[in-house]
Amino acid sequence: MNILETKAICHDFSGLQVLMDVNLEVQEGERHAIIGPNGAGKTTLFNVITGTYQPSEGQVFFKSKEITGLPSHKLVRLGMGRSFQVTSTFTWLTAFQNIRMGILSRRGIRFNFFRFLDKMDDVTRETDAVLKRINLDGERDIPANMLSYGKSRSLEISMALATDPDLVMLDEPTSGMSVDETHNAVALIRRLTEGKTMVIIEHDMDVVFSLADRITVLHLGGILASGTPDEIRDNQAVKDAYLGEMEV
Amino acid sequence: MSKTKRWIFWIVMLIALVFYPKVFGIYYTNVFIIFAIFALFAVSYNLLLGFTGLLSFGHAMFFGVGAYGTALALEHVEGMPLIASVLMGALAAIVLALILCPIVVRVSGTAFAMIHLAFGQLMYVLALKLRGITGGEDGIGGFPIPELNIFGIVSIDMADPLNFYYFAVTVLGLSVLFLWFFTKTPFGSIMISIRDNANRVDYLGFKVPQSKAIIYTVSGCFAGVAGSIYALFQNLIAADDGFHVMVSFAPIIMTMVGGIGSFFGPIMGAGIFGIIEELTSRYTERVELVMGLILILVILFVPMGFIGFINFVKQKFAKAAA
Amino acid sequence: MKGNLTKGCLKGAEIQALGKTAGLARFRHSFISFGEDDYMDPVTAMYVAQGIHGLAYGMVLFLVASGLTLIFGMMGILNLAHASFFMLSAYFAYTVLQLTGNFWLALLIAPVATATVGVLVERFLLRKVHAFGHVGELILTIGVALVILDGVQAFWGTENLPLPIPDILQGLVNIGGLEYPAYRLFVIGLALCLLAILAVILYKTRLGMVVRAAVSDADMVNSLGINVPLVFMLVFGVGTWMAGIAGVAIAPILTVFPGLADQMGLDAFIVVVVGGFGSLSGAFIVSIIAGLLNAYGVQFVSSLAPVLMFIFMAIVLTIKPMGIFGERE
């Protein structure tokens, strides 16, 4: 089953056409990478899917239901999670407090005015468990903006997963990371997205080819090719437009 | 501080509060009441500024509306009980907040500040112009202040400053306690998260505009309670007391001076503000000048305010000891 | 900070200059008079005179609002102390006049002195809190405003101080049958001159281009290697200087008193909001309209006018948070 589908998505910014007739299909449980040169429209596509933008034309389907134009918080509740290219965590809160927000959301604790949050032991325990899984238990009480870059990106990724979504959208999770950090990040991502569907935007081809089950190549706002890593590797058009510039 | 120490601290504070008027006399009792009123006002304001990151230049409108609500209720409704009149003030503030919510929850930053400056001034002008209702520049005064009637058993005369002190401090104290608890709930953590990254809050599945609406209304409501007690205390409320832009600036100064990042900061700020005002007005009329200078100095050198400064010193000692 | 919002009569030279006095005891408005042999029918004359009053006030308002809107566009904050600089300049002018007896020296020196204060505030105060974001800057301007507003009372007292019009500008001028106070025409002329110079610099010189770019997107300009802090200081200084000129210009009409900043501050704020943050043309149009509305509107809608203005402004802010012509948040 296709957990995510876009039909004929077009999007423009005041006349500048950024996406043209994008038909993306993501199967449930797969790890799908979206690659393409800068300006191809990858993040815009993400924004359309995750509710930040309403597409000029076209539709988005999630779990077979149409979600075009729904606001982000609704999509999150339907089972989507997202990480951002520019780290978007709670700057002054500690790693613990950051993760805790995700746990609260997952448990539906939103408009609770009745209990001391710090005394909710089950929430605390769950948060600590998550911190351990992402190797941040040592940084539990450190504010997010004081974490090392690699750790803050780990935090960012786990914020995407905090609500236990079925579909995880990761926007360049390893951007700016060293080789070692990237290695760790890939292992973390693989571990955390077990049993989930993942769509990832990436520039680092090593990451793409080691993680992805299928790859879609975006070029100038349209889909150039879509298929398994081998198919993409051998695709001439892709090589000419994009991979030729990169070393695989 | 360990838990027992903390409890002892608060119990001592409570005892001090109870015996304060006996020790310091009527003049300082009244000074304390003013301090308490502005402490609540500043705490309610900090809910928006320090906790949610929303800067408003018009918080006076809730203060003023609460004050006028109470005054008008007592003036026009025969036999209005005391506590009910305070509730009327709070209700008026809540209504105002709810009316403004749809506009206000969708903006932040400078736009939020500007809209509130505009609305605050609008309320000020309205208070001046609608003489029929508000008494214009002269305001409403001399309205009857009923006795405090507890369950029909005990009746306490509010004309006695001592009685009023206990009444006011109880109401204001309970309000502060409520707000403190409010910040400690799960919803309270949403507030702080919105301050840090409203976008991420949205992407975690929380409804940000609705959350802001609740925070805004709670903040406005308790500013109204502060205003209400103010009206009762003075037995007078006029446009300049309630809605003037200085009344909007006061909690900002108090919060910055006391410490924007902590719950108790604004209370300290109100205290410091009160002390400085007392001291300064003995020597000169230029109180606002002193306030302005202090505000500038605080922002430049101690932006985390008094409480922030204390924390900073504590950390230094902790490091030195370690 | 509680000003006298219902300033009425003019004093001094202007009364003497007028033969007859027909007073309109309202803030910002002054007398009209027509000579004995009028060519213009009195009713028309009154309308025209009111119009020119409105124009004069609108021009002064624009001088203040333009600085405010440029600073907002560039720094993203509304300088709450701007109107107090306007007032400060009037006080400086008074002192210069006391010392030298020369109005023109006052007109020259006071705005420069005010601009200097402004630049010092920008350089040593605002810049330091820049790191804290807009919240810190806005609150700092409150502090500065309080210091100036109260400070002038410490140095100059709380009385209304007169600033007499120089002899050259006293008296009436005959325009098409209407005899109109020369001083106000001077004010309009002065403002138009400054406007023209400002426009030429902004639109015809390289410096102007840099400033316009900085007002529109300071970060971008920074990455082009231009010394943005210097541009900031320049715009702040010039904006404050213009407010200073406005202060000296209006002082003879309103006299110098501590409440001078209140009404002007409010009006300038309204202009910037409605006209658009960072938009000079917007500020100009709205200033003129506001001036004319006040001149005419006062007669017809008198007590409701300020309320309507605010409601209108609140609506604008709600629908278009960047003001009618504004582009930048």
Per residue in B135-184, pLDDT tens?
A: 888 888 888 888 887 766 777 887 888 888 999 999 999 999 999 999 99
A223: Cβ–Cβ under 8 A, 6 or more apart, which residues? A22, A23, A24, A216, A217
Model pLDDT, residue C220: 76
Is any Cβ of chain B less than 8 angstroms from the Cβ of C303?
yes
Distance, CA of A121 to CA of B181 (rounded, Å) = 18
Q: Which residue range is the domain that position B172 belongs to?
A: 24-321
CATH of the domain at B213: 1.10.3470
Calculate mean pLDDT across residues B274-290.
Answer: 87
Distance, CA of A90 to CA of B200 (rounded, Å) = 8
Model pLDDT, residue A140: 87
Place C6 in a pLDDT band, splitting at 50, 70 and 90: very low
Instruction: Identify whether B236 is part of a domain.
Output: yes
C178-181 and C172-175 beta bridge pairing: antiparallel
Residue B203 to residues A5, A47, A90, A194, A211: CA-CA distances in angstroms?
Answer: 20, 12, 12, 21, 24
Pick from A200, A246, A237, A198: which is nearest to A219 by CA? A237
Q: Does pLDDT of C94 surpass 60?
A: yes
| pLDDT < 70: residue spans in chain A | 243-248
Instruction: Identify whether B132 is part of a domain.
Output: yes
Å between B208 CA and nearest CA of chain A:
9
Instruction: Identify whether B7 is part of a domain.
Output: no
Distance, CA of B279 to CA of B277 (rounded, Å) = 5
List pLDDT tens digits, range C265-321: 888 888 888 787 777 888 888 888 888 877 776 544 445 566 666 777 777 766 766
Place C134 in a pLDDT band, splitting at 50, 70 and 90: confident
Q: Which residues in chain B are contacts of C314 at CB distance < 8 A? A: 103, 115, 118-119, 122
Residue A64 to residues A2, A3, A27, A84: CA-CA distances in angstroms?
Answer: 8, 7, 11, 25
Place C324 in a pLDDT band, splitting at 50, 70 and 90: low
Range with the poorest average pLDDT among A127-141, B69-83, C3-17: C3-17
pLDDT-above-70 percentage for chain C: 79
- Measured in residues, chain B has a length of 322
Pick from C283, C119, C83, C325: which is nearest to C191 by CA? C283
Model pLDDT, residue C306: 63
Instruction: Identify whether B14 is part of a domain.
Output: no
Instruction: Identify whether B186 is part of a domain.
Output: yes
* Domains in chain C: ranges and CATH: 2-319 (1.10.3470)
Place C327 in a pLDDT band, splitting at 50, 70 and 90: very low
Cβ within 8 Å, pair B185-A88? no
Q: Which residues in chain A are contacts of B186 at CB distance < 8 A? A: 104, 109-110, 112, 115, 117, 120
Instruction: Identify whether B271 is part of a domain.
Output: yes
Q: Does pLDDT of B196 surpass 80?
A: yes
Q: How many domains does chain B fold into?
A: 1
Instruction: Identify whether B234 is part of a domain.
Output: yes
Å between A194 CA and nearest CA of chain B:
20
Q: Does pLDDT of C104 surpass 80?
A: yes
Model pLDDT, residue C158: 86
Is any Cβ of chain B less than 8 angstroms from the Cβ of C112?
no
Cβ within 8 Å, pair C153-B286? yes
Q: What percent of the residues of chain B are helix, what percent strand, and what percent coil, each to the nearest 5? A: 80, 5, 20
Å between A148 CA and nearest CA of chain B:
19
Model pLDDT, residue C329: 36
Nearest to B107 among C145, C306, C321 (CB): C321
Distance, CA of C90 to CA of C83 (rounded, Å) = 11
pTM listed for this prediction: 0.84
Is any Cβ of chain B less than 8 angstroms from the Cβ of C143?
yes
Instruction: Identify whether B75 is part of a domain.
Output: yes
Q: What is the DSSP letter of A32?
A: E
List pLDDT tens digits, range C223-233: 777 787 888 88
Distance, CA of B198 to CA of A88 (rounded, Å) = 10
List pLDDT tens digits, range C172-194: 887 777 778 888 888 999 999 99
Q: Does pLDDT of C111 surpass 80?
A: yes
Q: Does pLDDT of C16 surpass 70?
A: no
C8 vs B183, which has greater pLDDT? B183
Model pLDDT, residue C322: 57
Calculate mean pLDDT across residues C86-91.
Answer: 94
Å between C129 CA and nearest CA of chain B:
7
Range with the poorest average pLDDT among A63-77, B261-275, B303-317, C99-113: B303-317
Range with the poorest average pLDDT among B83-92, B183-192, C249-258: C249-258
Cβ within 8 Å, pair B204-A109? no
Q: Provide residues of B within 8 Å CB-CB of chain C.
A: 49, 53, 55, 57, 103, 107, 109-111, 113-115, 117-119, 121-122, 125-126, 129, 240, 244-246, 249, 252-253, 256, 284-289, 291-293, 295-296, 299-300, 303
Cβ within 8 Å, pair B292-C146? yes
Model pLDDT, residue A158: 87
Distance, CA of C132 to CA of B256 (rounded, Å) = 13
A72 vs B218, which has greater pLDDT? B218
A214-219 and B148-150 beta bridge pairing: unpaired
